[in-house]
Amino acid sequence: MGAYLSVPAAVYFLGPSIGTYSTSLNLLFFYMTWSTMVLSFPPLKVEVIGTLGVRAVCFLLPSLLFLLVDSLLPSVVVNIKSQGASALPTRSGSARNRRKGGQPPWYHVIGLSLVNILLSVALQAGIELLLTKVFLVRSALQVTTTLPMPWSIAKYVLRALFVREILQYYIHRFILHPSSSNFVSQLH
């Protein structure tokens, strides 16, 4: 009788080690899924959905996690933050202080973040459509069925960071904070 009872227990404890796939098999499934998606959808759709997915995983989820921790455990988090209680997103404050230049409520910040993400993805898609459909320029999107190697990913990430920093410097220096005020700098 003990042997019959031990078989389900052994399967319960050994099941995860027997039933899991190896890393190479997971990579094979990912490659098959990626290839099917690239061959099934146009490159712009893959780019937009991929961009939204990466921004959701790398920006929205961590931000919401930190907001949740700040909201649920303010007494613990206030000791960690350098600005103390004034840095908490759910701190109490009167509407009068908000109108005078204080911090907006946390839900306005979340809404503005979502609008920024959607606006940037829409701008990216709009520029690509403008270049390919109106100006008949070859698409700049490189969506292929081959998976990128780690070195090429690092190279593209470093290139993007470098270009972003240069653009950010010159936009802030000459457009948003010029020596003589202009329309855009007044809005900023």
pLDDT (tens digit per residue) in 131-153: 889 988 888 787 888 877 888 88
- The predicted pLDDT at position 71 comes to 83
Domain ranges of the chain: 1-39, 41-142, 148-188
Q: What share of the chain is helix, strand, coil (3-state, %, to 5)?
A: 75, 0, 25
pLDDT (tens digit per residue) in 30-63: 888 888 888 898 989 988 998 999 999 999 999 9
Among residues 56, 54, 21, 50, the alpha carbon closest in space to that of 37 is found at: 50
- The predicted pLDDT at position 99 comes to 52
- The predicted pLDDT at position 103 comes to 62
pLDDT (tens digit per residue) in 56-100: 999 999 999 988 888 888 888 888 887 877 777 766 544 445 555
- The predicted pLDDT at position 116 comes to 92
Sign of CA dihedral 103, 62, 160, 48: negative
Between 156 and 180, name the one with better pLDDT: 156
The average pLDDT across 96-123 equals 78
- The predicted pLDDT at position 159 comes to 96
- Which tokens sit at 131? 């270049």
Among residues 43, 51, 53, the alpha carbon closest in space to that of 141 is found at: 43
